[in-house]
Chain A
Amino acid sequence: MSSETIEFFFSFRSPYSYLAAPRAFQLPENYEVDIRFRGVMPMAMRGQSVPSQKRIHTMFDTKREANRLGMPFGPVFDPIGDGAVRCLRVSELAVGQQLEKQFVLAVSRAIWAEGVDVSSDEGLRPICIAAGLDWHACLQAISDPLIEARVEKNVEDLLELGQWGVPVFRFRDQLLWGQDRIEDLERLLDAAGLRR
């Protein structure tokens, strides 16, 4: 445990969150910090409109960024709806077992680079098991109202911080929005003398 924490607000429906995740979870390797994963509901499921031109541009832009980062992108299976809800609730279970890194990296890669439909049991089950989670516990988590409330709290906290999209990083009083702002976050961590 480190004394400093970075909150990492993430959506399974956000391809930019997918691009951010490996570098975000890598931060504790290089800095004296812990990552606190905060999964949030997609904007489109929070009543915010997402114009079609934004969706198309996001696919183009994410592909370019994925190529730059050496990450696979496509085929995809948009998890909006049940897929996002199931992943969010399982991720809360994974947080409790300190398996969020394994689960989040595996399931976001399945969604954004392997075209896996995570709204189905046949899609989600092997990912959960490979991440070290018990499948029956995952099914229980998916219908657990306490876990649902934890996810809702993550959304409330994001909105309270004055943020709307993801990924968002919170370090001390600084908020950084975007997978392409991790270099600025690292600069802040360096300035705080937290490099290992």
Chain B
Amino acid sequence: MAVSGLKNRIEKNLAPSLIIRLSEVDAPMRLAARAKRARGQRGSVELFFAFDDASSAYALISLAELVNQRDVDLIPRPVVDRGIPDDPAVDRKRSYAIDDAVRLFARGGTELVRRTPIDPEATAWLAQWVADAPQSAALTDFTVEAVRLLWLTDGQQPDRERFERLWSEKLGGSPPAVGDGLASNELRMARLRMYETPAAWVTGRWFFAHERVAQIGEWLDRLGWEER
């Protein structure tokens, strides 16, 4: 076989077929999960999401319900910069995400109230608050509630004072000063080879979170973090 023919076969046949086979190797992850449980630690679902993204809203709310009955924490990791560089379809995707989220929420009988895209900068301060605060159940609770306010309650421009009141109610005090949390989340997302929100990282695997909620549940089951 000529060199070009061999290269063609590797790129089109052998490499992708090998990746598919490797995708079924899960023993190391299951072992890691078992070791974690043996140390008395809980599982985690890290959700890389954007407050301005309708798909993220669906993912966050759905995953919060999914982990509720398991020994698993939902860790919100907000980002602002994401997506494929120079993607020509970015505006169309943002608009389509709303139409799609309307149908996703409708599956569970919930209405998506906001029907217009949010500019990423309009909620960047909210992302910064969550990214710069220490992880806690109260922070996750605040994040879910903030997303509900943004997408399920009204279609108004995000009102900073309203969210400051919610912060005080859920976590006490004022939101944190600007730190490096957002940059750190965006860097971690890139290192995990995720390129778009919402993406969930669950013990060695990542999923597009808004359309793979059931699969994330199955993966948690397989790792031993089943519903109580």
- A59 lies within 8 A of B16 (CB): yes
Chain A 55-87: CB-based contact to B (< 8 A → 1; otherwise 0) = 111011111110010000111111110000000
Residues of B within 8 A of A56 (CB): 19, 193
Asked if B96 contacts A177 (CB within 8 A), the reply is yes
Minimum Cβ distance to chain B for residue A42 (Å): 13
User: B89: which A residues are within 8 A, CB to CB?
Assistant: 164
Cα-based distance from A63 to B219 in the complex (angstroms):
14
- What are the residues of chain B within 8 A of A183 when measuring CB–CB? 107
Q: Which one, B12, B20, B207, contacts A80 given CB within 8 A?
A: B12
Residues from chain A with Cβ under 8 Å of B211 in the complex: 178, 180
B215 at interface by CB-CB < 8 Å? yes
- B20 contacts A76, C-beta separation under 8 Å: yes
**Which residue from chain B places its CB closest to the CB of A164 in the assembled complex?**
B89
Q: How many A-B residue pairs have CB under 8 A?
A: 87
Cβ of B212 under 8 Å from chain A: yes
In the complex, B100 has a CB within 8 A of chain A: yes
**Interface assignment of B4: CB less than 8 Å from any CB of chain A:** no
Complex: how many Å from CA A115 to CA B14? 9
Interface set, chain A 162-177, CB cutoff 8 A to B: 162-164, 174-177
Closest B residue by C-beta to A180: B211
* Chain A contact patch, size range: 35 or more
Task: List, in ascending order, chain A residues with CB within 8 A of B85's CB.
Answer: 49
Closest to B84 in A: A51
Residues on A with C-beta less than 8 A from B84 are 49, 51, 54
- Closest A residue by C-beta to B211: A180
**Mask of B74-101 contacts with A, CB within 8 angstroms, 1/0:** 0000000000111011001101100110
Q: Which residues of B contact A (CB under 8 A)?
A: 11-13, 16-17, 19-21, 23-24, 84-86, 88-89, 92-93, 95-96, 99-100, 103-104, 106-107, 193-195, 205-208, 211-212, 215
